Structure 1
């Protein structure tokens, strides 16, 4: 347990990194869940499906998962939510899988409701993914007391759990753009106007919540590092994220040259670097090209998606509700029955991570 509440020094960050050597993991949502709420909710949390998929994950050579939480689960039934987190950690720990938990998220839709979630819209990428806490909550900082209690409770309960690798406190802060990509014409002036409207009706408080989340978490003194990822060149926000994070994390869905450029740029900051989102096959973000780069530069990584399921992230951000199988998958490694989308990709994971079991 740390004895101060400031950002880790570079020495502390590298000491942590020395105990957590290079690995490859994935962003994980079980196939039965359209979003974070359906993954964890009492009525839908499914240990058997998760156990099966984690077994597949180990056979593929992966040893880590990045998983999203949601504030409404804690607000409505913290006891069950934490019990399910413990069950998930038990399943991961038994298989040697480390966990990165993501707490807040500005991506996709501001329509989170507690309870049974809607069915996916056929062919639409992440048609049911929901923001946490969402614009309506962001617009009213005077009512953030429950968010503070939520973050503090997470840190007090799980802040010394060795199965948790780190806390990603805020995913893609100020990402106002993704919902526009699901519109019929994402480049239209009307769609762009809606994006700007979101920014000025609540989203502008995202950076404030980001700062507060780090403050709340640090005062509970977790033994795991805290981070938030750089994902777009918004200089003001990028500076804030980099000043707060113990370990530098970033997202890259572009080709190999862009990835190497990002790695070299972030390594100049003198802290461990982790890529928490990558893999977009149509954009040349590929297993065969990128995984060797991550290993060469000792940058642990988490590709987006593992098993094809209700999130439908095999479709691109701009696919339009056809439901037909895409010629080239965007994200994800396995089909819903556990067979690989591309067996060569799995061979690369197994070879580079040392997880060579193909049974």
Structure 2
């Protein structure tokens, strides 16, 4: 079968999926809410160990570091965190047995510390050209200078690689489909993020696919990824989180949604969203998300420089029992304590931001702000 034929078959089948995937295999609101009633108030972080620049370095055999993970998740347990959002990568499936073994070991460490992670299968953010092997060192002064997309631009652009992507999704989900150590599967992080200010249209060096092309490709592919995970027999809920701010009125009007948002919201068993804005905006967003009648989890928040903070946001979410997963845990090679705009204004010559953007702990294990840790403990009952 040539590439054009494969593409046409995928394009045609997408229309069929659009008609049937919204409900076929998707959890009913009653099932989703029954699942959620058994869960505590979920609090955690988007996690990679401090010595990993990205998800490949976290899980490749040469750099997988159970000792560091054990130490850092022990710190999370001590402040009451009970979940983590953890990114996987399709290229890791080139060694299915090895990756499965390491992921199983990671889940064992999580369980030891009473943490049930949400695992992310694909991610549209940052470097569009991932490669296995030794990862480069962090670029000084740049936020997330080494994080890589999954799948990368080459795989997205080449339909002959889609069976490989399907094998990865079905393989990893199938291996852990009944594993109670896993909270949920986030099938695609920020699928329509085109990295405008880092690798995309606004940056001096553009390596990202063109914005319309990337969004069109991923919009077609996303419903298939949901179906692959369901076909693999996942017993945990599936989701893909919306991340662009909209007013409550817009969220309640499907005519205002993009095709990507429609695919996300109509295929997700539980509703997830990102919110790096004020407490007042969080409160409005939560009210809008709850109108979908399903469990709601905020899978990214907490950027001090844009007024998204533990002390203000956790009490609001707890009242509504909306789970909260902040970005970052221990400052390290991702350098996400540096703001997003460091891509335009790097923090060079050892200069640090006056206010850290993300992260809870410093490299030596002390909190960035003890008052924040106190707020997390209060929210989690620790």
Task: Kindly report which structure 2 residues correspond to 1:318-337, keeping only aligned pairs within 5 A, or say none.
Answer: 318-319=341-342, 320-321=345-346, 322=348, 323-337=350-364
Q: Equivalent of 1:18, from 24, 30, 37?
A: 37
Task: Kindly report which structure 2 residues correspond to 1:183-202, keeping only aligned pairs within 5 A, or say none.
Answer: 191=203, 194=206, 198-202=210-214
Superposition deviation, residue 352 in structure 1: 1.4
| 1:350 paired residue number | 377
Superposition deviation, residue 192 in structure 1: 9.2
Superposition deviation, residue 197 in structure 1: 5.3
Q: Equivalent of 1:204, from 207, 216, 220?
A: 216
Indicate if the aligned counterparts of 1:135 and 1:203 stay in contact, CA closer than 8 A. no
| 2:332 paired residue number | 309
CA distance in 2, matches of 1:144, 1:161: 26
- The structure-2 alpha-carbon separation of the partners of 1:48 and 1:95, relative to structure 1 and needing over 3 Å to count, comes to same
Indicate if the aligned counterparts of 1:169 and 1:227 stay in contact, CA closer than 8 A. yes
1:254 aligns with 2:277: yes
| 1:181 paired residue number | 197
| 1:264 paired residue number | 287
Where structure 2 has 5 or more consecutive residues not aligned to the other structure, the ranges are 1-22, 247-256
Indicate if the aligned counterparts of 2:153 and 2:209 stay in contact, CA closer than 8 A. no
Count of equivalent residues: 345
Q: Deviations over 1:256-311 (max 9, x none)?
A: 11111110001011111000000010100011100111111110110000000000
Q: TM-score, normalised by structure 2?
A: 0.87
Q: Equivalent of 2:142, from 98, 119, 124?
A: 124
Superposition deviation, residue 239 in structure 1: 1.4
Where structure 1 has 5 or more consecutive residues not aligned to the other structure, the ranges are none
Q: Which moved more, 1:251-260 or 1:17-26?
A: 17-26
1:244 aligns with 2:267: yes
Q: Deviations over 1:10-52 (max 9, x none)?
A: 1100111011121211100100000000000100000100000
Q: Higher relative CO (CA 8 A, sep ≥ 6), structure 1 or 2? A: 1
- The structure-2 alpha-carbon separation of the partners of 1:155 and 1:5, relative to structure 1 and needing over 3 Å to count, comes to farther
1:9 aligns with 2:25: no
Q: Deviations over 1:213-241 (max 9, x none)?
A: 00111112211000000001562211111
- The structure-2 alpha-carbon separation of the partners of 1:235 and 1:203, relative to structure 1 and needing over 3 Å to count, comes to closer
Give the secondary-structure state (helix, strand or coil) at the position aligned to 1:25. Answer: strand
- The structure-2 alpha-carbon separation of the partners of 1:280 and 1:130, relative to structure 1 and needing over 3 Å to count, comes to same
Give the secondary-structure state (helix, strand or coil) at the position aligned to 1:122. Answer: coil
Structure 1 consecutive aligned stretches of length 4 or more whose deviation exceeds 6 Å? none
Indicate if the aligned counterparts of 1:22 and 1:298 stay in contact, CA closer than 8 A. yes
Give the secondary-structure state (helix, strand or coil) at the position aligned to 1:144. Answer: helix
RMSD after superposition = 1.9
Superposition deviation, residue 196 in structure 1: 8.6
